[in-house]
């Protein structure tokens, strides 16, 4: 099945029969991707009298309580409510789900202090103003270890706030990346890249980009080539700042 999408005055044909899932599934136990010292996801059957919500334990159905942290366990999409004093929820902020996206592969630059950072000039090389609504960043090296890495305490790569300011100036509404955060793991609470992306200055709602999202801990396998795609950004309807998410790319070609 094919669909025609329109963006920036151009038409594209997308093949909806060929989804490219770039999410990391939520799994129980320590073998799953994890960051910021969040405990692993856990499930436990509901027990009520003689009822147990586990077929493996003799119950009629699986009826599980699930405990997880959206930011620390698997792919997740967050809104400005992640850093705002005001109440914003991902369910209210993300109300459209299909976007023209660009996938770009970048090597983080190692700074003299040892930090690995995506810099402004690197984003300038892969993104033009007004080109797309969503930018998907794949960092190198890139392999299946990203599906199970525990990033806590490792000071993983991040984006320089000037790089974020540039992509915002280009009209990017949705930023997706395969890192735990757009900011340094420990930065004293500055959160410069988060603040730049949402134009959040710490008071009042004027100018806040509340319809914009950041999706972290994706995984784009190497066989998915850099270029333009249709992005379907799927979330659960959580009335909190973030939700586990399932971003899916679809190959597109210009409509003639």
Distances (CA, A) of 93 to 97, 169, 194: 11, 20, 16
Neighbours of 176 (CB within 10 A): 27
> Could you give the CA distance from residue 28 to residue 243 in angstroms, rounded to a whole number?
17
Which pair of tokens denotes residue 68?
């997880």
Please say whether the beta carbons of 174 and 134 come within 8 A. yes
* DSSP helix/strand/coil, 230: strand
Burial 21-43 (b: 16+ CB within 10 A, else e): bbbbebeeeeebbbbeebebbee
For strands 213-216 and 174-177, give the pairing: parallel
* DSSP helix/strand/coil, 90: helix
What pLDDT is recorded for position 7? 67
Whole-model pTM: value is 0.95
pLDDT in tens, the chain (256 residues): 777 777 667 788 888 999 999 999 999 988 899 999 999 999 999 999 999 999 999 999 999 999 999 999 999 999 999 999 999 999 999 999 999 999 999 999 999 999 999 999 999 999 999 999 999 999 999 999 999 999 999 999 999 999 999 999 999 999 999 999 999 999 999 999 999 999 998 766 678 999 999 999 999 999 999 999 999 999 999 999 999 999 999 999 887 6
Domain ranges of the chain: 2-25+70-254
- Burial class from Cβ neighbours inside 10 Å (0-12, 13-18, 19+) for residue 199 reads middle
Please say whether the beta carbons of 86 and 207 come within 8 A. no
Which pair of tokens denotes residue 229?
């795609």
Distance of CA 172 to the CA centre of its chain: 14
Q: Does domain 2-25+70-254 fall into CATH 3.50.30.50? A: yes
Phi and psi angles of residue 109, each rounded to the nearest 5 degrees, phi first: -90, 130
What pLDDT is recorded for position 202? 75
Phi and psi angles of residue 180, each rounded to the nearest 5 degrees, phi first: -65, -25
> Could you give the CA distance from residue 216 to residue 77 in angstroms, rounded to a whole number?
7
Please say whether the beta carbons of 94 and 133 come within 8 A. no
């Amino acid at each position: 099945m094919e669909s025609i999408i329109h963006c920036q005055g151009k038409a594209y044909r997308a093949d909806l029969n060929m989804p490219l899932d770039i999410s990391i599934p939520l799994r129980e136990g320590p073998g799953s991707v994890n960051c910021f010292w969040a405990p692993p996801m856990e499930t436990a059957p509901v027990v009520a009298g003689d009822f147990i919500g586990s077929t493996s334990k003799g119950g009629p159905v699986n009826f599980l309580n699930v405990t997880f942290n959206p930011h620390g366990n698997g792919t997740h999409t967050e809104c400005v409510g992640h850093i705002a004093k005001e109440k914003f929820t991902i369910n209210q902020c993300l109300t459209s789900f299909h976007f023209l996206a660009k996938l770009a592969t970048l090597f983080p630059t190692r700074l003299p202090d040892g930090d690995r950072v995506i810099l402004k000039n690197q984003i300038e090389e892969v993104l033009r103003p007004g080109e797309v609504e969503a930018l998907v960043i794949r960092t190198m090296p890139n392999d299946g270890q990203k599906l199970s890495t525990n990033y806590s305490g490792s000071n993983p790569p991040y984006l320089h706030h000037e790089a974020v300011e540039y992509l915002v100036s280009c009209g990017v509404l949705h930023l997706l990346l395969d890192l735990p955060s757009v900011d340094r793991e420990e930065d004293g609470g500055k959160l410069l890249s988060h603040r730049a992306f949402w134009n959040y200055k710490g008071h009042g709602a004027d100018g806040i980009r509340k319809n914009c999202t950041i999706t972290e801990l994706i995984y784009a396998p190497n066989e998915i080539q850099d270029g333009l795609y249709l992005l379907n950004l799927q979330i659960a309807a959580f009335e909190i700042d973030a939700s586990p998410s399932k971003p899916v790319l679809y190959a597109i070609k210009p409509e003639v």
